[in-house]
Chains A and B, each alone.
Chain A
Amino acid sequence: MSHTLHRQGTPANLDNDFPMHALPARGFNHEGALPKLKQFLAIAHRHNPVNLGDVKLGNKYVTAYDELYEQLTTSSTHAVLADKDDLTALLAEVKAADLGMSLTISGLFARLFACCDQAGIQPHAVEHSLGVLGKTEQMPEAEIAQITTMCGHAMVAQGLVRRLIGKVKKGEMTPAEAGIELAKPCRCGIFNPARAAMLIDEYCALFTVTVR
């Protein structure tokens, strides 16, 4: 599943959002991949990730980094960075480590090309989102979808986003705490809680609190 592809947002609010995954190819370099995936996780951990994870173990807000590192599985290893300079530094370090694992990153294409260029990396392929078709009126409104689409498996519920906006508005929670609560259901750890916090802070002016 192309689960980091369809993040919705504006160019401004997508510019601090770099979800990525390292993974081996079945039948090619899957055997013996685990130490390399662990090395990738350790490199990502050094570059200020706002999330890390493995679908079997959960993300860093439900499973501590040390446990993730120790028990990592040979599947897709995920991290999210929120800063272009961190991304460039990570790319340079992954290249120097010569892990041989595929690394896929999402973000604004112009930004990704620039970071790869600075890190001396020649990208291989791109995947475009050609948008959402069909009965789009059944989707949550754009503001909510900017948060829920940060989990590609759709584990982050629109109802939870609405509830947490309400809690932040009432002063029961900070936007940063709400971002972390929203990150928890996304098993893989590709949800960006820092971007969610920023969006929720913005939405406090837009949404009213309804009493059920």
Chain B
Amino acid sequence: MRIDKDKCAGCGQCTEFCTLGRIAVCRRDPRTGKLYYEINEDECVDCGVCLRAGVCSAGALYMPAYAWPRTVRSAFSDPTVEHRDTKVAGRGTEEIKTNEITGRIKRGFVGISCEMGRPSVGARFYDIEKVAMALARLGVEFEPNNPCTRLMADPQTGRYKAEVLNEKVLSAIIEMIIPLAQLPAVLTAIRGAAAGVDCVFCVDLITVLEPGNAIPTLPLLQSLQWPVSPNGKMNTGLGRPLAKEG
């Protein structure tokens, strides 16, 4: 995203809509003394929120026609933009949302994701790669129908395409399905990788319920002293046709 400095009236309204906060600075043109705002284009993730807010009466904000690899920024940051480069529709997979129909995650397995950059910080692919490589060393298989996986040069090692490494996005999801027994090793690797990144990420864990609404992952999480939020997400099982549990 850019601001046309000649049009900008220096009001600062758009900057309050910036999802990352504080990535635009106020400058004064030394020749004319006029105030204008300038977006730090290297930090901007092209989410488009400032533009969609429609607060710029001067018409100074604009999204340039960026080329690859810059285009991955809006694809991962703006929910109104499709993933053309990765050839995957939507943001990620349907994960828990349709699991009773698809049976993607079965009993004895868990779905686990690292939502890199989330919340409100953003992440560069070189940091996303650090987490992916730590997981790849455990032999996990990344979800093939996930746009983040499609940007990997080698899903066996978790290496990304060199040209995207410096691109920054609002969030990109590293996603996998693993046997429940592998969960402690995977969570330990995630904790280790977290120490080496210059961003934040959220961790998600999907579990099929046992009879009586028992949650088989909870004892493991307790043994790892991993804090669990009292709130989360639930698939109510109302979808049809129901998947056959293997």
Contact = CB atoms under 8 A, between A and B. Distances in A.
B33 interface: no
Nearest to A62: B52
Nearest to A113: B213
B28 to A, nearest CB: 15
Contacts of A185: 17, 49, 52-53
Contact of A2 (B100, B113, B237, B240): B113
A46 interface: no
Interface string A116-150: 10000111111111111111101110000100110
A105 interface: yes
Contact of B203 (A28, A107, A123, A129): A129
A157 interface: yes
Task: Pick from B100, B121, B230 the residue with the most CB of A within 10 Å.
Answer: B230
Task: Pick from A26, A105, A125, A135 the residue with the most CB of B within 10 Å.
Answer: A125
B72 to A, nearest CB: 16
Contacts of B232: 5, 106, 109, 126-129
Interface residues of A, number: 75
Task: Pick from B21, B190, B198 the residue with the most CB of A within 10 Å.
Answer: B21
A196 interface: no
B53 to A, nearest CB: 7
Nearest to B116: A134
Interface string A78-116: 000000000000010011001111111111111011001
Interface stretch (B60-68, B151-159, B204-212): B204-212
A2 B96 contact: yes
B190 A122 contact: no
Interface of B: 12, 15-19, 21-22, 47, 49, 52-53, 79-80, 91-92, 94-102, 105, 111, 113, 115, 118-121, 170-171, 173, 187, 190-191, 194, 197-209, 213, 215, 217, 221, 226-241
Given A94-B238, A104-B236, 19 more contacts: A2-B113, A23-B94, A23-B97, A27-B102, A28-B241, A100-B241, A107-B234, A108-B230, A109-B230, A123-B234, A125-B105, A127-B233, A128-B229, A129-B231, A132-B201, A135-B200, A154-B19, A154-B170, A185-B53
20 contacts: A2-B233, A5-B202, A100-B239, A102-B238, A104-B234, A109-B230, A109-B234, A116-B234, A121-B236, A125-B105, A125-B207, A126-B206, A129-B204, A130-B228, A133-B190, A134-B197, A139-B200, A140-B120, A185-B17, A212-B12
